[in-house]
Amino acid sequence: MRIQIPFSKTPIFSSNPSKIRLTNSVNVLKQFLEAAEGRVLVLTGAGISTDSGIPDYRGPNGTYTTNKTYRPIFYHEFIQHHRFRQRYWARSYFGFPTIAKALPNSAHYALTTLQNQNLISKIITQNVDGLHHNSGSRNILELHGTLHEVKCLQCGYTRKRTDFQSRLAKLNTAWATYSRAFERDGLTPRVNPDGDVEPPKDTSYDLFIYPSCDSCKTGIYKPSVVFFGENIHPRVKQSADEMIEECSALLIVGSSLATYSAFRLVKAAKEMGKPVGIVNLRSTRGDDLADFKIEERCSDLFRRMLNEDEKGDGGHASK
Integer Cα distance of 44 and 42 in angstroms = 6
Name the catalytic one among 144, 148, 233, 316: 144
Is the four-CA dihedral 284, 290, 295, 297 of positive or negative sign? Answer: negative
Integer Cα distance of 7 and 4 in angstroms = 9
- Between β-strands 158-160 and 221-225, what pairing exists: parallel, antiparallel or unpaired? unpaired
Integer Cα distance of 181 and 297 in angstroms = 34
Per-residue burial over 122-159, b if 16 or more Cβ lie within 10 Å, else e, is bbbbbbbbbbbbbbebeebbbbbbbbbbbbbeeeeeeb
Q: Helix-strand-coil percent breakdown of the chain, rounded to 5?
A: 40, 15, 45
Check if 144 is active-site. yes
Q: Can you give the pLDDT at residue 96?
A: 93
Per-residue confidence of the chain (319 residues) as pLDDT tens digits? 655 545 444 433 344 445 666 678 999 999 999 999 999 999 999 999 999 998 876 555 655 555 566 678 999 999 999 999 999 999 999 889 989 999 999 999 999 999 999 999 999 999 999 999 999 999 999 999 999 999 999 999 999 999 999 999 999 998 887 667 666 655 566 777 778 887 777 788 999 999 999 999 999 999 999 999 999 999 999 999 999 999 999 999 999 999 999 999 999 999 999 999 999 999 999 999 999 999 999 999 999 998 887 666 444 333 3
Asked if residues 219 and 153 have their Cβ atoms less than 8 Å apart, the reply is yes
Integer Cα distance of 141 and 135 in angstroms = 15
Strands (E), 38-175: 40-44, 120-125, 140-142, 145-152, 158-160
pTM of the model: 0.88
Integer Cα distance of 4 and 99 in angstroms = 23
Dihedral, 235, 240, 246, 252 alpha carbons, nearest 10? 170
Q: How far is CA 203 from CA 50, 88, 189, 227, 247, in A?
A: 27, 13, 13, 23, 48
Asked if residues 277 and 291 have their Cβ atoms less than 8 Å apart, the reply is yes
User: Is 155 annotated for ligand binding?
Assistant: yes
Q: Can you give the pLDDT at residue 36?
A: 96
CATH of 1-54+104-144+232-319, one of 3.40.50.9100, 2.40.10.480, 3.40.50.1220, 3.40.50.720: 3.40.50.1220
Containing 223, the helix (H) or strand (E) segment is strand 221-225
Q: How far is CA 103 from CA 72, 202, 299, in A?
A: 24, 32, 13
